[in-house]
């Protein structure tokens, strides 16, 4: 091997081979040993020798169209393309011979004869593979006088050039300039192979071959393009180019960091000039995303510099007052005094806080530490309360720990996938692309969802079975699947005997075998076809490696925890745990939901999921922190709001959450916030919750601080500071200032010290440190002496709790029932371009795809109500009403309506109720009985709400 | 917390443990309440017991009483 270091994200030309057999060959006199199936191009790259190339890139299968990568191989005729030629034992390759040099120069000459030579003013100047290759092959002269080109607007004679196609700048984030295109097909292949959308194609033949998005009348924006950026990433020229690069120039430095949107946790290179962010580029060594991205992570970062961003602290005595900008000192003193006064007057437990699933592990750890050690109570909670708290309860009960069992790579080994209550193409797009790739390769898919989500039928992917259940009947459906598996004897008896308690299983089997759980019996209430369910059950039990992926459609129900346990039962009875390709995989909503839960954000658990009543655990923290900790659980978010209305809870510190918009039953949340005397919002923007706040502490974005996020696969990824915080302080520093003003005496100078404290106190993090993360890039907990490399897959030889526990899962209908007044069921969710409450994405150009929330309604339900597509409709439940526009679609079944909660103008949560999961109080967002009728526009509630919000956001001019 | 909400939440917990094979179902209800409910919520529940525990299902009532006996 050549003795220099190959850059870690060098383009190797073709994908890596997975073969375990190796082959040794000689390239330019160097011996190279690579896996069987590797291309000659990649083998050369492994040896540090780059063969010129244009149509090849290592994220895509070799294509062999550009003929630039030709080499000579001893004993073979001609000049084979190195990208499509696999290595063979003893092969002798020469990459730089007079013959191949001549071929390459000839090829380049042809390319360049039809390419504008405006390199100096081209947006890709310095970042163009065509330019690089022209240089590398030593092209000095173009002999051809092109008669026809694709780039000249007029022919030499002055006639209009029909081959010239003007630039398409319909997409807000990138342009398509056909005049720069070399038709290498990399974009088309990226859209197919990496993203799996198939929005692009090559139209025409020969000289008329052109890249096209959608049909003839489409541009990029109106086509099926989802703006994931894979084509831009793959393009070797300026044909597909980020608008930010066109505007700002090519970046000169990059920092590897982690996306702050969904729970996939993609690694990105933040590319900058100075402290100006030019673009975010997916990092190919990122183990969650493997070089892929979605529209949010790659492009929707503009909120960081949005004019709405607040960078000065503000206070006010009453929420009806305008805000007053003050110094940090004054804001912190004011807050600390107010909180201590409230405690003096109303008791130590009258205040609390909410940690953020968008902030770092270190920040979350410090917020719960401040609450437990400085406030002196356990009134800490996090947004996982309203999303994945049932995962915590359910997986801890059955397996012994609250986490997904696999890494994302696992999906590459899956044969049968169940997706239940999740819509990955919208909410976890990069995982969805990886899943679709596996499905295109032959894996089977079972979708259990009331809606016909995109995965049910999408280009080259369709579900083997879609079970469109009635919202709220998850447990009945899953128990029926188990009924089929058990009564037909399809379970994995050896696994159950080895890994679980056989007697316990026998009891469970007796329960589940009862005829009332048969799909024929449950079909009456679930609406699922019995034969379809039986077929799905058989497929899952017998189809090879079975993996279950689930989202909030599982957890956000009155039986959320029971459903999680039903999923765990299914995985255990089919032996689908403890190896690649299987497992129970909760898809986490926010970037750091997993981390926030790990860090002890819940009121009943200290970091590492240890109950506050456990003396030994408390002692660990008491010794280190020098205070006595409360052994009784604190209030959960809904309990805090109830206690506020009751008058016993008076002060709340909210970091990076917008509970007024995101939590259910907005009127109740508002009443709770209104009843408090000191609400502190620590955020980037004056969010909806801030309308009821007394203190606003400006927050910092993920680009402005150091820390770690933990994604849905338990992967701890570094977040790196790429620019100074606009507000002056990273969020962990703000929390520390507040804690210290209340007497904490903390002295952290860097988040790495917080991670050291986490490692010292939490066994599953024992070996995690910033040094380790620098060395490894990322690591999946548990990472300790027993698992020094972390744990990509959990429960390999035994469950965290010892033996897996089967739980009886009896279906119990929710109290939320449809009836004459509210005959439809509302379920809520996300769409691709927006994220959660939209605080970030609404402040980017993503609004072009989703400017408002709309109500999906089935044609039948629309017709009987006289509703046409695009009409304003009033959506009402027993909790409240709101108005929005209707869109008529058969994605929803008759009797079911659907909307998103991204926009405060709609306030979908005015409609949702305060019913919740029996075990964890996770709200029942997914089932609300509603009525839909025609309306003229916004309801009184919406108008009053907006008026209050406008009043509340007034800021007094700063004092002179 | 409204009394209706409190009784509903308690009944929900009891309705799960009612389906479980444990001999001491009330004990499981009591354990769950102890593990997840904040003291002032429990006080409110106990006060409700004093008032007769209206609206609580038999197992919810038994679980709450059991918890109070050991609290």
Structure tokens at A224: 């099926």
The ipTM of this complex is 0.97
| Cα dihedral sign, A493-A496-A499-A501 | negative
Instruction: Establish if B20 touches chain A: CB-CB under 8 angstroms.
Output: yes
Instruction: Establish if A614 touches chain B: CB-CB under 8 angstroms.
Output: no
> What is the per-residue pLDDT across A577-587, written as a single tens digit (0 to 9) for each?
999 999 999 99
Domain A389-586 has CATH 3.40.228.10: yes
Strand-pairing partners, residue A47, are: none
| Closest of A641, A671, A643 to residue A654, by C-alpha | A641
How much is the average pLDDT of A276-282? 97
Domain boundaries, chain B: 3-70
CA distance A666 to A923: 12
Residues of A in contact with B21 (CB under 8 A): 507, 808
How much is the average pLDDT of A171-175? 98
Instruction: Establish if B9 touches chain A: CB-CB under 8 angstroms.
Output: yes
Position A126 pLDDT exceeds 50 = yes
Q: What is the dihedral of CA A416, A422, A425, A426, to 10 degrees?
A: 180
Q: Which residue reads 């369709």 in tokens?
A: A462
Q: Do B35 and A633 touch (CB under 8 A)?
A: yes
Q: Strand, coil or helix: what is A549?
A: strand
Instruction: Give the percent of chain A with pLDDT over 90.
Output: 91
Strand ordering across the sheet containing A324-325: A324-325, A314-315, A695-698, A678-683, A651-655, A351-355, A380-382
Residues of B in contact with A919 (CB under 8 A): 13, 16, 32, 36
Residue A584's φ and ψ, nearest 5 degrees, are -115, 120
CA distance A14 to A37: 11
CA distance A190 to A90: 33
> What is the per-residue pLDDT across A701-752, written as a single tens digit (0 to 9) for each?
999 999 999 999 999 999 999 999 999 999 999 999 999 999 999 999 999 9
CA distance A85 to A25: 13
Residues of A in contact with B1 (CB under 8 A): 639, 642-643, 646
Strand-pairing partners, residue A240, are: A176
To the nearest 10 degrees (0 to 180), the angle between helices B39-50 and B3-18 is: 90
Mutate to test the interface with A, among B3, B4, B11, B12 (most CBs of A within 10 A): B12
Q: Do A642 and B40 touch (CB under 8 A)?
A: no
Which residue from B13, B16, B36 is facing A633, i.e. has the nearest CB? B36
Residues of A in contact with B12 (CB under 8 A): 558, 918
Q: Strand, coil or helix: what is A12?
A: coil
Question: Which A positions 67-126 lie with beta carbon below 8 A of chain B?
Answer: none
CATH of A824-952 among 3.40.630.10, 2.30.30.110, 2.40.40.20, 3.40.50.300: 2.40.40.20
Tell me the pLDDT of chain A averaged across its residues: 95
| Closest of A844, A801, A889 to residue A396, by C-alpha | A801
| Closest of A294, A267, A232 to residue A432, by C-alpha | A294
Instruction: Establish if B4 touches chain A: CB-CB under 8 angstroms.
Output: no
Q: CATH 3.40.228.10 in chain A, residues?
A: 389-586
CA distance A404 to B38: 28
- Chain B closest CA to A675's CA: distance in Å? 13
Contact A553, A318 (CB under 8 A): no
Q: Counting beta carbons within 10 angstroms of the beta carbon of residue A204, is it exposed (0 to 12), middle (13 to 18) or buried (19 or more)?
A: exposed
Position A954 pLDDT exceeds 60 = yes
Structure tokens at A728: 């002056």
State residue A7's pLDDT score. Answer: 61
CA distance A709 to A359: 8
Strands A276-282 and A546-550: unpaired
Give the residue on B whose Cα is nearest the Cα of A379.
B38
Structure tokens at A164: 């010239």
Strand ordering across the sheet containing A276-282: A253-258, A267-273, A276-282
Position A3 pLDDT exceeds 80 = no
Structure tokens at B17: 């443990």
CA distance A100 to A91: 17
Strands A715-719 and A778-780: antiparallel
State residue B46's pLDDT score. Answer: 97
> What is the per-residue pLDDT across A330-339, written as a single tens digit (0 to 9) for each?
999 999 999 9
Strand-pairing partners, residue A270, are: A255, A280
Position B16 pLDDT exceeds 70 = yes
| Closest of A310, A258, A319, A320 to residue A289, by C-alpha | A258
Position A655 pLDDT exceeds 70 = yes
Strand-pairing partners, residue A584, are: A548
Q: CATH 3.30.70.20 in chain A, residues?
A: 174-305
State residue A2's pLDDT score. Answer: 45
Q: Counting beta carbons within 10 angstroms of the beta carbon of residue A572, is it exposed (0 to 12), middle (13 to 18) or buried (19 or more)?
A: buried
State residue A845's pLDDT score. Answer: 94
- Chain A closest CA to B26's CA: distance in Å? 15
Mutate to test the interface with B, among A472, A476, A514, A633 (most CBs of B within 10 A): A633
How much is the average pLDDT of A67-82? 97
Residues of B in contact with A613 (CB under 8 A): 34-35
In Å, what is the CA distance from A275 to each residue of A252, A272, A387, A405, A703?
A: 11, 6, 35, 39, 10
Give the residue on A whose Cα is nearest the Cα of B7.
A918
Position A796 pLDDT exceeds 90 = yes
Q: Which residue reads 């503009």 in tokens?
A: A302
| Closest of B39, B27, B45, B64 to residue A632, by C-alpha | B39
Contact A560, A917 (CB under 8 A): yes
Q: Do B35 and A613 touch (CB under 8 A)?
A: yes
Strand-pairing partners, residue A352, are: A652
- Chain B closest CA to A633's CA: distance in Å? 5
Contact A260, A709 (CB under 8 A): yes
Q: Which residue reads 């001999």 in tokens?
A: B23
Q: Do B16 and A918 touch (CB under 8 A)?
A: yes
For A22-96, CATH gives: 3.10.20.740
Strands A896-900 and A854-857: antiparallel
How much is the average pLDDT of A805-819? 94
Specify the length of chain A in residues: 960
Instruction: Establish if A19 touches chain B: CB-CB under 8 angstroms.
Output: no
Position A442 pLDDT exceeds 80 = yes
| Closest of A254, A257, A277 to residue A268, by C-alpha | A257
CA distance A766 to A751: 16
Burial code of A271-309, b = ≥16 C-beta within 10 A, e = fewer?
bbeeeebbbbbbbbebbbbbbbbbbbbbbbbbbbeeeeb
Contact A96, A29 (CB under 8 A): no
How much is the average pLDDT of A527-531? 97
Instruction: Establish if A914 touches chain B: CB-CB under 8 angstroms.
Output: yes
Position A166 pLDDT exceeds 50 = yes
Q: Do A815 and B8 touch (CB under 8 A)?
A: yes
DSSP A70: B
In Å, what is the CA distance from A258 to each residue of A113, A547, A711?
A: 42, 26, 10
Band of residue A5 on the pLDDT scale cut at 50, 70, 90: low
Which residue from B9, B20, B36 is facing A604, i.e. has the nearest CB? B36
How much is the average pLDDT of A529-543? 98
> What is the per-residue pLDDT across A927-949, written as a single tens digit (0 to 9) for each?
999 999 999 889 898 999 999 99
State residue A306's pLDDT score. Answer: 94
State residue A959's pLDDT score. Answer: 56
Q: Quick one: how far is CA A634 from the chain centroid?
A: 30
Instruction: Establish if A558 touches chain B: CB-CB under 8 angstroms.
Output: yes
How much is the average pLDDT of A796-820? 94
Which residue from A507, A562, A632 is facing B39, i.e. has the nearest CB? A632
CB neighbours (10 Å) of residue A321?
14
| Closest of A270, A298, A46, A334 to residue A172, by C-alpha | A298
Question: CA end-to-end span of chain A, whole Å?
Answer: 68
- Chain A closest CA to B51's CA: distance in Å? 19
Q: CATH 3.40.50.740 in chain A, residues?
A: 314-386+592-780
How much is the average pLDDT of A412-418? 98
Q: Do B12 and A918 touch (CB under 8 A)?
A: yes
Instruction: Establish if B16 touches chain A: CB-CB under 8 angstroms.
Output: yes
Residues 6+ apart with CB under 8 A from A82: A13, A39, A40, A41, A44, A51, A53, A69, A70, A71, A93, A95
How much is the average pLDDT of A872-877? 95
State residue A1's pLDDT score. Answer: 43
State residue A432's pLDDT score. Answer: 97
Which residue from A633, A808, A815 is facing B38, i.e. has the nearest CB? A633
Class of domain A174-305: alpha beta
How much is the average pLDDT of A110-135? 95
State residue A958's pLDDT score. Answer: 65
CA distance A500 to A489: 17
CB neighbours (10 Å) of residue A5?
7
Fold of the domain built from segment(s) A314-386+592-780? Rossmann fold (3.40.50)
CA distance A6 to A133: 19
As a whole number of angstroms, the longest Cα–Cα distance in chain A is: 91
- Chain A closest CA to B32's CA: distance in Å? 8
Instruction: Establish if B68 touches chain A: CB-CB under 8 angstroms.
Output: no
State residue A881's pLDDT score. Answer: 92
- Chain B closest CA to A919's CA: distance in Å? 6
- Chain B closest CA to A559's CA: distance in Å? 9
CA distance A937 to A934: 9
Position A887 pLDDT exceeds 50 = yes
User: For chains A and B, what is the number of CB pairs under 8 angstroms?
Assistant: 59
| Closest of A55, A73, A52 to residue A64, by C-alpha | A55
């Amino acid at each position: 091997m050549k003795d220099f270091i190959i850059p870690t994200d060098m383009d190797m030309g073709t994908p890596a081979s997975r073969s375990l057999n190796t082959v040794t060959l000689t390239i330019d006199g160097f011996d190279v040993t690579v896996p069987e199936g590797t291309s000659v191009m990649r083998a050369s790259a492994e040896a540090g020798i780059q063969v010129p190339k244009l149509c090849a890139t290592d994220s895509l299968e070799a294509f062999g169209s550009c003929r630039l990568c030709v080499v000579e191989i001893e004993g073979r005729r001609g000049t084979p393309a190195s990208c499509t030629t696999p290595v063979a034992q003893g092969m002798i390759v020469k990459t730089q011979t007079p013959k191949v040099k001549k071929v390459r120069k000839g090829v380049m000459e042809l390319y360049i004869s039809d390419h504008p030579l405006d390199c100096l003013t081209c947006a890709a100047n310095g970042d163009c593979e065509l330019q690089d290759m022209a240089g590398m092959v030593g092209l000095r002269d173009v002999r051809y006088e092109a008669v026809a080109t694709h780039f000249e607007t007029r022919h030499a004679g002055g006639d209009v050039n029909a081959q010239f196609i003007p630039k398409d700048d319909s997409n807000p984030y990138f342009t398509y300039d056909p005049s720069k295109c070399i038709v290498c097909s990399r974009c088309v292949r990226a859209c197919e192979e990496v993203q799996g959308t198939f929005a692009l194609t090559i139209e025409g033949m020969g000289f008329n071959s052109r890249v096209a998005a959608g049909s003839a009348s489409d541009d990029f924006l109106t086509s099926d393009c989802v703006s994931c950026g894979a084509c831009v990433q793959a393009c070797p020229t300026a044909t597909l180019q980020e608008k930010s690069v066109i505007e700002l120039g090519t970046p000169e430095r990059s920092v590897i960091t982690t996306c702050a949107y969904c729970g996939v946790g993609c690694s990105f290179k933040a590319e900058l000039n100075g402290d100006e962010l030019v673009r975010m580029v997916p990092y190919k060594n990122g183990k969650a995303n493997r070089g892929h991205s979605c529209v949010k992570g790659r492009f929707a970062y503009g909120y960081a510099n949005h004019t709405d961003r607040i960078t000065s602290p503000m206070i006010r005595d009453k929420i009806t007052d305008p805000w007053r900008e003050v110094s940090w000192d004054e804001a912190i003193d004011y807050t600390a005094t107010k909180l201590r006064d409230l405690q003096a007057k109303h008791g130590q437990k009258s205040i609390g806080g909410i940690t953020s699933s968008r902030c770092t592990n270190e920040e979350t750890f410090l917020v719960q530490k401040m609450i437990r050690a400085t406030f002196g109570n356990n009134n800490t909670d996090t947004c996982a309360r309203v999303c994945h708290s049932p995962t915590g309860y359910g997986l801890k009960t059955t397996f012994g720990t609250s986490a997904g069992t696999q890494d994302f790579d696992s999906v590459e080994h899956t044969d049968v996938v169940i997706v239940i209550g999740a819509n990955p193409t919208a909410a976890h797009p990069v995982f969805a692309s990886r899943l679709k790739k596996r499905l295109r390769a032959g894996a089977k898919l079972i979708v259990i969802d009331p809606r016909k989500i995109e995965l049910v039928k999408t280009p080259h992917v369709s579900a083997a079975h879609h079970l469109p259940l009635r919202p709220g009947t998850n447990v009945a459906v899953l128990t029926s699947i188990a009924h089929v598996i058990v009564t037909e004897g399809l379970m994995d008896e050896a696994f159950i005997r080895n890994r679980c308690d056989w007697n316990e299983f026998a009891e469970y089997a007796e329960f589940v075998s009862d005829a009332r759980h048969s799909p024929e019996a449950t079909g009456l209430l679930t609406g699922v076809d019995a034969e379809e369910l039986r077929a799905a059950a058989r497929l899952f039990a017998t189809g090879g490696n079975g993996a279950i992926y689930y989202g909030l459609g599982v957890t956000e129900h009155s039986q959320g925890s029971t459903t999680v346990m039903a999923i765990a039962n299914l995985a255990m009875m089919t032996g689908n745990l403890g190896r690649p390709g299987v497992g129970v995989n909760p898809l986490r909503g926010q970037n750091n939901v997993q981390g926030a839960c790990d860090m002890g954000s819940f009121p009943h658990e200290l970091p590492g999921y240890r109950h506050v009543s456990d003396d030994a655990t408390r002692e660990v923290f008491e010794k280190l922190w020098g205070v006595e900790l409360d052994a009784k659980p604190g209030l959960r978010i809904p309990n805090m709001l109830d206690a506020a209305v009751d008058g016993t809870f008076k002060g709340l510190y909210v970091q990076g959450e917008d509970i007024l918009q995101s939590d259910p039953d907005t009127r109740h949340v508002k009443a709770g916030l209104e009843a408090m005397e000191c609400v502190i919002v620590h955020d980037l923007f004056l969010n909806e919750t801030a309308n009821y706040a007394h203190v606003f502490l400006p927050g910092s974005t993920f680009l402005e601080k150091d820390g770690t996020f933990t994604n849905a696969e338990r992967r701890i990824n570094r977040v790196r500071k790429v620019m100074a915080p606009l507000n002056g302080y990273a969020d962990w520093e703000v929390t520390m200032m507040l804690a210290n003003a209340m007497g904490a005496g903390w002295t952290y100078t860097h988040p790495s010290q917080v991670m050291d404290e986490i490692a010292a106190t939490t066994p599953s993090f024992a070996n995690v440190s910033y040094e380790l993360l620098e060395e490894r890039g990322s690591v999946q907990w548990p990472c300790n002496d027993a698992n020094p490399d972390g744990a990509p897959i959990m429960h390999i030889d035994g469950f965290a709790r010892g033996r897996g526990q089967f739980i009886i899962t009896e279906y119990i209908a929710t109290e939320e029932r449809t009836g004459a007044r509210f005959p439809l069921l509302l379920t809520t969710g996300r769409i691709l371009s927006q994220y959660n409450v939209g605080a970030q994405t609404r402040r980017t150009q993503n609004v072009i795809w989703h400017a408002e929330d709309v109500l999906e309604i089935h044609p039948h339900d629309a017709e009987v109500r006289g509703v046409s597509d695009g009409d304003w409709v009033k959506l009402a439940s027993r909790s409240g009403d709101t108005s929005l526009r209707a869109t008529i679609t058969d994605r929803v079944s008759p009797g079911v309506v659907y909307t998103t909660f991204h926009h405060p103008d709609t306030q979908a949560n005015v409609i949702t109720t305060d019913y919740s999961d029996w075990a964890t109080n996770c709200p029942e967002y997914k089932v609300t009985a509603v009525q839909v009728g025609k309306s003229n526009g916004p309801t009184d509630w919406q108008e009053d709400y907006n008026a209050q919000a406008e009043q509340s956001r007034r800021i007094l001019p700063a004092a002179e | 917390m409204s009394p209706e909400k409190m009784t509903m939440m308690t009944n929900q917990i009891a309705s799960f443990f009612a389906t479980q094979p444990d001999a001491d179902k009330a004990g499981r209800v009591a354990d769950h309440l102890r593990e997840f409910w904040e003291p002032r919520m429990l006080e409110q529940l106990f006060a409700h017991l004093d008032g007769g525990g209206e609206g609580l299902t038999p197992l919810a009532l038994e679980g709450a009483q059991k918890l109070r006996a050991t609290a």
